[in-house]
């Protein structure tokens, strides 16, 4: 950095405007600004920028979230304080360049012809010798040798001697100018590519950041940005066969919509995966429609291979589901949801209403995955992977806005040698999924489980079975008491009803709270045994199971079904959604960037590289030679200095002096 004049006595005589200029052009201010920008850049690198505010709130909590938001740390490079410091650095460095460039240019060409002999004698690199020749001849020869070494030379005849001034590497001073000018140019390019114009328009009320999740057709006009020369970086997801003329710009806790001067259509999206299921590569065939084109521009973009068109860069950034069509069977799990299997046709990102008794709910399809590659729990090799097939993610939202999140697999999953339909459920993204396993019957369907569930909810059937079981039980003890008969029948039906409502948990809680402690230890196991007997009789009362011989396979299915029904109260959904078919539609995630300041930044980088090269690889070196006629002959005094006092400089001057000393008085 250029060194300012810090003489306090001189500063006191400066005008106010001059003092302000010297303050803004001081090295201390510029270095302080650079340090602050460096620290801010570290924060902007460590803390992921421009993420949804909900993510920051979950990560940092309400207290630190508000502090970081007030400090502008979620969008450091576009915050007001960062842009202000960047502007201050531009002003400071510009003043410094303007103030010192004239003197630097003069120093590039000045050969300094006013040095005295005493000054040369105290220089580190000096030498003297005597030559038996004429003074003019010596001067001419030494000047020729210096020119041959790459020096610019000039001689000045004094009263009793001749001074030869020589300089090499004068462009070294240009390096100082170019490096400082590069800082100004790069910062200006950064300011041009910042969203400062958008902030200014927001302060004036010309634009308004939209925070609601609205269809693009319902976004108000004040949240649209017209086509212009402003810099932006937006994202957009386009499904296969669809097109878009807009990009979404993330702005704090909302977004703006940037209009594009052309239309982007996605013809096809392709993706390859590793064996682990991770994406390996993906690319998109796109078509650009523009009135300035004689015909549409068709091309393919992929990661690290963007399309540059009309000053806009279109990058392949991500991928997602583009609204895949889903065909689902809704199996009732709650009597209020009905008894029949209802087919549903929907698509990803679509919300449909459905009724559960008197309550209205919303079904929100959030995702679809055509395959799920995870570790195989039944494989002998723990690292073996397996494709568990397609899955759907959805939420069931109540009228109050509360929602449970579900993950259902399309294909049965094997567990302990048996197959189950798997469904995960959780109340928030911060939790792990808890899974419901519904057993699959011999036909590979849920029909057997559904029939058993409906039989348990058939009050008349349960009452009849309880009556038969009561008769058989009392016959074994030869009891015909009416009250005992009524009490036992009610107990049996009550146990089944409690199990259907809350599983074994509710039944165990009833035993602990309703029976005396002395009786619960003896009656508790009896109640559970009677409940299991009732559930077995209900299962084998199904028409298809009546005449079959009871085998181990049936008993295992019965146990799996009982376990599943006991878990239903915690499942929270009145239906089980089973994916039966799908039409997969991909969406390509594109990033559209318009950065008019990048070419200015490129110019600044070129200036910085050139300046650094001149500073470090082209040192400025000066040599002075005093030629004086003495009685014993012509004496020559040579001395040199360099702005970089390195070992190389000392060797260089030693070599130059050696070449000059070769002159022995004869013409070269």
Determine the Cα–Cα distance for residues 141 and 663; give it in Å rounded to an integer.
Answer: 8
Among 178-182, 512-516, 529-533, 547-551, where is mean pLDDT lowest?
547-551
Among the candidates 102, 120, 146, a domain finishes at 102
Tokens 């086509």 belong to residue? 227
Q: Which of 615, 492, 597, 571 is nearest to 190 (CA)?
A: 597
Residue 668 pLDDT greater than 50, yes or no = no
Rounded average pLDDT over 619-623 = 91
Task: Clarify whether residues 432 and 462 are in a common domain.
Answer: no
Reported confidence tier of residue 165, pLDDT bands at 50, 70, 90: very high
Q: Which residue has the tokens 């402690």?
A: 517
pLDDT greater than 70 at residue 645: no
- Alpha carbon 135 to chain centroid, angstroms: 75
Instruction: Give a yes or no: residue 667 inside a domain.
Output: no
pLDDT, residue 483, reads 58
Q: What is residue 667's predicted lDDT score, i.e. its pLDDT?
A: 43
Q: Are residues 313 and 367 in the same domain?
A: no
C-alpha span between 598 and 600 (Å, rounded): 5
> How would you list the strands of the sheet with 152-157, edge to edge?
125-131, 633-642, 621-630, 162-168, 152-157
Same-domain pairing of 283 and 344? no
For residue 9, pLDDT beyond 60: no
Q: Which helix (H) or strand (E) holds 233?
A: strand 232-239
pLDDT greater than 90 at residue 478: no
pLDDT at 481: 56
Assign residue 625 the CATH number of its domain: 3.30.310.80
Judge whether residue 4 has pLDDT over 60: no
DSSP state of 429: T
Looking at residue 548, what is its pLDDT? 57
Q: Same domain for 472 and 558?
A: yes
pLDDT higher than threshold 90 for residue 243: yes
- Residue 647 lies in domain: 110-168+619-661
For the chain, the domain total comes to: 5
Give the dihedral sign, CA 78/81/87/93: negative
Give pLDDT, residue 552.
Answer: 84
Per the model's pLDDT, the better-predicted residue between 9 and 289 turns out to be 289
Residue 121 bridge partners (DSSP)? none
Looking only at the bridges linking them, the beta strands covering 254-273 and 224-225 are parallel
Residue 285 exposed, middle or buried by CB count within 10 Å (0-12, 13-18, 19+): middle
> So what's the pLDDT on residue 633?
87
| Cα separation, 428 vs 447, whole angstroms | 31
SS3 374: strand
Q: Is 616 helix (H, G, I), strand (E, B) or coil?
A: helix
Contacts with 281 (C-beta within 8 Å, 6 or more apart), sequence order: 271, 272, 302, 303
Same domain? For 226 and 312 the reply is yes
- Going from the C-alpha of 518 to that of each of 98, 523, 526, the distances in angstroms are 98, 9, 14
Please state, for a pLDDT cut of 90, what percent of the chain lies above it: 35
3-state secondary structure of 597: coil
Nearest to 557 by CA among 576, 579, 542, 570: 542
Q: Which of 93-97, 244-248, 404-408 has the lowest mean pLDDT?
A: 93-97
Of the three residues 68, 102, 136, the one that is the final residue of a domain is 102
Domain finish residue from 57, 86, 102: 102
Per the model's pLDDT, the better-predicted residue between 265 and 45 turns out to be: 265
pLDDT of residue 312: 94
- Identify the band that residue 107 occupies on the pLDDT scale cut at 50, 70 and 90: confident
pLDDT of residue 381: 63
In a domain, 204, yes or no: no
User: Do 336 and 397 share a domain, yes or no?
Assistant: yes
CB of 625 closer than 8 Å to CB of 141 = no
In a domain, 197, yes or no: no
Q: Are residues 336 and 380 in the same domain?
A: yes
Residue 217 counted as domain residue: yes
Residues 282-290: contacts with CB within 8 Å, 24+ apart? 282/316, 282/319, 282/588, 283/316, 284/316, 284/588, 284/590, 286/314, 286/588, 286/590, 288/262, 288/263, 288/264, 289/243, 289/262, 289/263, 289/265, 290/261, 290/262, 290/263
pLDDT band at 665 (very low <50, low <70, confident <90, very high): low
Instruction: Looking at the structure, tell me whether residues 354 and 247 fall in a common domain.
Output: no
In this structure, what CATH number is given to the domain that contains residue 307? 2.60.98
Q: Which pair of structure tokens corresponds to residue 507?
A: 């039944």
Instruction: Report which of 104, 103, 45, 89 is spatially closest to residue 182, judged by C-alpha positions.
Output: 89
Q: How many angstroms separate the CA atoms of 659 and 145, rounded?
A: 8
pLDDT, position 423: 94
Residue 130: strand pairing partners: 635
Instruction: Give 359's pLDDT tier (boundaries 50, 70, 90).
Output: confident
CB 578 within 8 A of CB 421: yes
pTM score above 0.75: no
Task: Report the pLDDT value the prediction gives residue 388, as an integer from 0 to 100.
Answer: 87
Distance between CA atoms of 375 and 387, rounded to whole angstroms?
A: 9
Mean of pLDDT over the chain: 86
Dihedral sign (CA 649, 651, 653, 655):
negative
**393-402: average pLDDT:** 89
Least confident of 69-78, 380-389, 460-469: 380-389
Percent of the chain past pLDDT 70, that is, above it, reads 92
**Once rounded to an integer, what is the mean pLDDT over residues 556-568?**
92
In a domain, 136, yes or no: yes
Task: Read off the tokens for 406.
Answer: 């579900």
**Same domain for 369 and 284:** no
Residue 554: which residues within 8 A CB-CB, separation 6 or more? 545, 548
> 460 with 557, same domain?
yes
User: Is pLDDT of 376 > 90?
Assistant: no
> Measured between alpha carbons, how far is residue 504 from residues 229, 530, 623 in Å?
68, 13, 101
Q: Long-range CB contacts (< 8 A, 24+ apart) of 71-74?
A: 73/43, 73/47, 74/47, 74/49, 74/50, 74/252
Q: What is the pLDDT of residue 480?
A: 56
List for the chain the helix, strand, coil content (%; round to 5). Answer: 45, 30, 25
Choose between 358 and 332: higher pLDDT: 332
pLDDT at 430 over 70: yes
Q: Are residues 351 and 463 in the same domain?
A: no
188, part of any domain = no
Residue 162 lies in a domain: yes
Q: Are residues 288 and 308 in the same domain?
A: yes
Structural domain includes residue 403: yes
């Amino acid at each position: 950095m250029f060194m300012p004049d810090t003489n306090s006595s001189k500063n006191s005589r400066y005008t106010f405007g001059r003092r302000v200029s010297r303050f803004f052009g001081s090295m201390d201010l510029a270095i302080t600004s650079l340090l602050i920008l460096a620290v801010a850049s570290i924060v902007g690198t460590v803390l992921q920028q421009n993420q949804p505010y909900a993510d920051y709130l979950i990560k940092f909590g309400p207290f630190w979230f508000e502090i970081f938001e007030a400090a502008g740390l979620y969008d450091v490079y576009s915050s007001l304080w960062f842009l202000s410091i960047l502007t201050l650095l531009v002003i400071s460095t510009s003043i410094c360049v303007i103030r010192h460039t004239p003197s630097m240019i003069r120093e590039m060409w000045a050969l300094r012809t006013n040095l005295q002999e005493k000054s040369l004698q105290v220089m580190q690199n000096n030498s003297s010798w005597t030559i038996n020749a004429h003074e003019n001849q010596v001067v001419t020869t030494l000047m020729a040798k210096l020119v041959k070494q790459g020096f610019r030379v000039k001689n000045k005849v004094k009263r009793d001697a001749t001074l030869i001034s020589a300089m090499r590497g004068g462009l070294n001073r240009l390096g100082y100018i170019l490096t400082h000018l590069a800082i100004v140019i790069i910062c200006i390019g950064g300011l041009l590519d910042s969203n400062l114009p958008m902030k200014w328009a927001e302060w004036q009320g010309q634009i308004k950041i939209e925070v609601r999740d609205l269809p693009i057709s319902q976004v108000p006009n004040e949240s649209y940005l017209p086509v212009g020369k402003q810099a932006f970086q937006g994202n957009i997801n386009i499904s296969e066969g669809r097109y878009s003329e807009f990009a979404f710009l993330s702005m704090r806790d909302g977004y703006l919509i940037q209009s594009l001067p052309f239309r982007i259509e996605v013809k096809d999206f392709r993706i390859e995966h590793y064996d682990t299921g991770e994406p390996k590569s993906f690319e998109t065939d796109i078509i650009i429609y523009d009135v300035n084109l004689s015909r549409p521009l068709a091309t393919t973009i992929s990661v690290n291979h963007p399309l540059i068109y009309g000053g806009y860069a279109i990058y392949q950034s991500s991928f997602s589901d583009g609204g895949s069509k889903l065909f689902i069977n809704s199996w009732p799990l709650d009597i209020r949801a009905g008894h029949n299997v209802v087919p549903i046709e929907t698509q990803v990102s679509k919300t449909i209403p459905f009724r559960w008794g008197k309550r209205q709910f919303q079904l929100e399809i959030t995702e679809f995955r055509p395959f799920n590659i995870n570790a195989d729990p039944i494989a002998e090799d723990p690292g073996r992977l397996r494709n568990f097939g397609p899955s759907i993610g959805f939420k069931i939202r109540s009228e109050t806005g509360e929602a449970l999140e579900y993950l259902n697999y399309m294909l049965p999953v094997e567990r302990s040698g048996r197959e189950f339909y798997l469904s995960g459920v959780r109340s928030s993204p911060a939790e792990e999924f808890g899974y419901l396993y519904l057993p699959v019957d011999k036909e590979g369907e849920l029909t057997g489980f559904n029939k058993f569930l409906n039989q348990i909810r058939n009050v008349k059937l349960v009452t009849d079975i309880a009556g038969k079981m009561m008769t058989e039980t009392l016959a074994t003890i030869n009891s015909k008491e009416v009250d005992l008969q009524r009490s036992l029948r009610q107990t049996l039906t009550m146990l089944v009803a409690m199990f259907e409502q809350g599983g074994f948990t509710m039944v165990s809680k009833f035993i602990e709270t309703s029976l005396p402690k002395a009786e619960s230890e003896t009656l508790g196991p009896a109640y559970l045994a009677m409940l299991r007997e009732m559930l077995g009789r209900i299962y084998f009362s199904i028409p298809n199971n009546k005449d079959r011989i009871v085998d181990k396979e049936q008993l295992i299915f019965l146990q799996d079904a009982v376990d599943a029904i006991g878990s239903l109260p915690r499942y929270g959904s009145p239906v089980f959604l089973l994916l039966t078919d799908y039409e997969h539609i991909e969406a390509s995630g594109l990033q559209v960037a318009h950065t008019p300041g990048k070419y200015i930044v490129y110019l600044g980088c070129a200036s910085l590289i050139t300046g650094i090269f001149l500073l470090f690889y082209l040192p400025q070196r000066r040599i002075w030679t005093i030629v004086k006629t003495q009685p014993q002959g012509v004496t020559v005094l040579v001395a040199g200095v360099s702005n970089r006092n390195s070992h190389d400089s000392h060797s260089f001057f030693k070599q130059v002096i050696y070449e000059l000393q070769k002159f022995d008085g004869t013409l070269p």
